[in-house]
Amino acid sequence: MLTVALPKGRIAQETLEIFETIFGESFKFDDRKLILETENFRFLLVRNQDVATYVFHQAADIGVVGLDTLEEQGLDVIRLLDLRRGVCKVAIGMRVGEKLDLTKAEIKVATKMVNITKRYFADRAISADIIKLYGSIELAPLVGLADMIVDIVETGATMKQNGLEVIEEIMESSTYLIANKNSYFEKKSEILDIYEKINDVVKQEN
Amino acid sequence: MIFEHEIPEGSKLYFGDSAKRKREIEQVASEVLYKEGFEEIVTPLFSYHQDDSIADVKELVRINDTKNNKMSLRADSTIDVVRIITKRLGRNTTHSKWFYIQPIYRYPSTEQYQVGAEVIGESDLSVALNQAMEIFGRLEVKPLLQISNIAIPMKLSKLLNIGLDDFRHINIQKFLELDIEWVTKLVYLQHPEDIDAVIEIVPDEIKEELFKMKEICQKIAYKNKVIAPLYYAEMLYYDELFFRVIEGNKIHTRGGRYVNEDVTSVGFAIYTDTLIEANK
C-alpha cells in the first residue's frame, strides 16, 4: 500500500486521471473527503505547500508537487519524475519600461517565494530587502512597496494586466513526482513500479 | 521573554517511562558489548579537535580555553574516541574494541544521546554491524537494515559523468534515461539474493564493490535487510561499506568503515532518542 499526497485542485485532478489511465478504473474523491482509499493506494488531498511536508515526514510515501514549491521549501525528499505538467516560470517582474539596476544601494523585492529570491540575489552578491507577501504580489511595485516582484508566471497575462513585465527568468518549474527517502528503500519495488507506469503515460503524451 | 517552563529548542528531557526506556537501551547495549569484549570509554565534553569530524563546522558549539584556544562541545564521538585511544592511551592499552554512551551537542542547542562502538584496526564491517543488530534484537525492535557502499556512487560519478548531487537526491530519472542495462539494474537492486545477476554485468571496478556488499550480506544473519548500492550521503569519514538502520521515518543507527591516520576501523552509533521516540 502506497500513500500518495496530492495538492488540491487541478494537479490532483490530472494526477488521478493518470492513475485512471494506468489502472483502467475510477479514482474519485467523495464530496469534501480528504482521503481516498483503493486496493493499493491511499490518496490524501492536501494544500499544495503541504505536499512535500507530508512526504518528508512520511505521512505519505509519494506525492506530486511543483518544483518551485520544492525549491522554496528545501525539504530533503526524492525527486522521482518530472511529470511535465503545470509548466511555469519563476521570474522577476517590474513596471513596464523600468530596467533592473543592480547597482542601487537598496533593492526591495516583494514575493511569496522568499527562499528562492534570497538565493537568487545572494548568488549574485546583491543585497536585497525581501518583503514577504501572501498574495496580489503584482500590486507591490505599483504602490511603491517594492522595486520589483518575484512571482510565478504562466502566460504573463496577470503581470501585463497590471502594467508589469518579466525582465528576468529565475527558474523553470513543472510538477514532480516525489518520494520519502526511507519509503523509497522500504517500498522500492512498489515505488519504481508506479514510477514506470506514470513515466510511460508522460512519455506517450509528449 | 523566556517562560519558567521553557527548555531550549532541540534539548532533550526524559522522565518516567521515557527515562526508563533510555536506561534500558543503554543497559542492554552495554551488556551486549561487554559480553563481546568491548570496553567503555567516556571522552571529554570539551574538545579541541571537532573541526576534523564535522562536515559543517557551523554546527559546532564553540567556546575558548584559558589561553583563548578554540574549543567546542563534543559534536561527534567517533573521531575523538579513536584519537584519544590511539594518541593518548596508545602506550597504556592495546585494546581495540571500545564503546561509549554519551550525548553529542550541535549548535545552537541540539542534544543527541548516542550509544556507539568502534573497533580500531578492523576492516570487516560485519564485526560492528552484527553487534548493532544484536542490540536491536535484545531490545525487540525489528527495523530495516540498509547496506550501501559509498565507493559505488563515487566511482559511478566519474564513470558516467554524473554529479554526486544526483546520487544524493536519488535522481533515478537521470540514471534510467542513460538507458544502460547495468545502471538500470543497479537502480532496481534491492534484495541481497538478486546481487549476483547484477555483478555479472557491471564494469570491473563496480563489480569489486558489489562483491563487498555481497560478502557482508552473507555475514549478517539479520533478515529484514535491503541493499542500496546507489545511496549516497555526505559523510566526512565513511569511505566504503556503510549502513543505516531505519524504522518508518526514523534513523536508529548509522555505521561504516573509515580510515583515520592510516588506521582502518569500523563502528556505529545508535541514536537513543529515536529509539525512545519509537517506543512511545
Range A58-79 average pLDDT: 95
Angle, alpha carbons B87-B91-B94 (nearest 5°):
95
Do B267 and B182 meet the contact criterion of CB atoms below 8 Å apart?
Answer: no
- pLDDT band of residue B100 (cuts 50, 70, 90) is very high
Name the most confidently modeled range: A21-25, A38-42, A89-93, A122-126. A89-93
Q: Are residues A51 and A23 in the same domain?
A: yes
Q: Are residues A46 and A100 in the same domain?
A: no
Of B172, B173, B228, the CB nearest to A185: B228
- pLDDT band of residue B279 (cuts 50, 70, 90) is low
Residues sharing a CB contact under 8 Å with residue A185, sequence separation 6 or more, in sequence order? B144, B146, B190, B226, B228, B231, B246
pLDDT tens for A144-180 read 999 999 999 998 888 999 999 999 999 999 999 999 9
Q: Are residues A119 and A139 in the same domain?
A: yes
- Residue A28 lies in domain: 2-86+174-205
Q: Are residues A196 and A98 in the same domain?
A: no
Q: What single-letter amino acid sits at A71?
A: E
Q: CB-based contact (8 Å) between B226 and chain A?
A: yes
Asked whether residue B173 carries a pLDDT value surpassing 70, the answer given is yes
Do B216 and B229 meet the contact criterion of CB atoms below 8 Å apart?
Answer: no
| CA neighbor of B115 nearest in space, from B244, B252, B269 | B269
CATH of the domain at A76: 3.40.190.10
- pLDDT band of residue A2 (cuts 50, 70, 90) is very high
Q: Tell me the percentage of chain A whose pLDDT exceeds 70.
A: 100
Q: Are residues A32 and A58 in the same domain?
A: yes
Q: Are residues A102 and A41 in the same domain?
A: no
Cβ-defined contact of B144 to A186 (cutoff 8 Å): yes
- pLDDT band of residue B187 (cuts 50, 70, 90) is very high
- pLDDT band of residue A106 (cuts 50, 70, 90) is confident
pLDDT tens for A13-60 read 999 999 999 998 888 888 889 999 998 899 999 999 999 999 999 999
Of B173, B187, B226, the CB nearest to A185: B226
Q: Which sign, positive or negative, has the C-alpha torsion A13, A18, A23, A24?
A: positive
Alpha-carbon gap, residue B118 to B124, rounded angstroms: 12
Which residues are registered as beta bridge partners of A177?
A64, A81
Alpha-carbon gap, residue A92 to A153, rounded angstroms: 9
| CA neighbor of B103 nearest in space, from B74, B80, B63, B62 | B74
Q: CB-based contact (8 Å) between A185 and chain B?
A: yes
Do B112 and B66 meet the contact criterion of CB atoms below 8 Å apart?
Answer: no
Of B144, B169, B173, the CB nearest to A81: B173
Q: What are phi and psi of A143, to 5 degrees?
A: -110, 10
Alpha-carbon gap, residue A170 to B138, rounded angstroms: 54
DSSP label of B87: I
B-chain residues near A197 (CB < 8 A) = none
The alpha-helical segments, DSSP class H, found in A27-152 are 51-56, 67-73, 114-123, 139-142
Q: Are residues A144 and A192 in the same domain?
A: no
Q: CA distances (Å), A166 to each of A97, A112, B128, in order?
A: 11, 16, 58
Q: Are residues A153 and A95 in the same domain?
A: yes
Q: Are residues A145 and A82 in the same domain?
A: no
CA end-to-end span of chain B: 31
Q: What single-letter amino acid sits at B140?
A: E
Asked whether residue A103 carries a pLDDT value surpassing 80, the answer given is no
Cβ-defined contact of A185 to B231 (cutoff 8 Å): yes
Whole-structure pTM value: 0.90
Q: Are residues A64 and A105 in the same domain?
A: no
- pLDDT band of residue B280 (cuts 50, 70, 90) is low
Domain count, chain A: 2
Range A112-139 average pLDDT: 94
